[in-house]
Amino acid sequence: MKRTHYCGELRLQDAGEEVVLMGWVQKTRDHGGVIFVDLRDRTGITQIVFDPAEGNPNAHREARRVRSEFVLAVQGKVRPRPEGTVNPELSTGEIEVLISEVEILNTAQTPSFMIEDEADVSE
């Protein structure tokens, strides 16, 4: 897979476009089988979605292995977030990417604190 966009670039006008993103897993959430992952790179964060009913069941199975700070390459289709789920805190908060292919480029041990600007940690 060859990257087509950076995580912070996608907007609502990109809906329907097939994209390839690469980045680090910021956070994962499993909502009854649908897995949401916040994928980040130097430009920002994009929410990616692994849905066995709409996407590739093999990609969904692989997503179950994903943890914070894993490095992924993903391919999927940009779509608007469902009504009521827009995140105004993110520049990419109006869209998500439904994943059809995933490749785990690198695994990672779970860090002892979240890697983010506002992390409240001491030395």
User: Each residue's pLDDT tens digit in the chain (123 positions)?
Assistant: 899 999 999 999 999 999 999 999 999 999 888 999 999 999 999 999 999 999 889 999 999 999 999 999 999 999 999 999 999 999 999 999 999 999 999 998 766 665 655 666 666
Domain-embedded: residue 1: no
Domain-embedded: residue 113: no
Q: Which two tokens stand for residue 24?
A: 């680090």
CB 101 within 8 A of CB 55: no
Max distance between CA atoms of the chain, in angstroms, equals 45
List the CATH number of the domain containing 39: 2.40.50.140
Structural domain boundaries enclosing 90: 12-106
Domain-embedded: residue 98: yes
Domain-embedded: residue 122: no
Q: Is the pTM of this model over 0.85?
A: yes
Q: Which two tokens stand for residue 42?
A: 């130097």
Count of structural domains, the chain: 1
CB atoms within 10 A of CB 16: 9
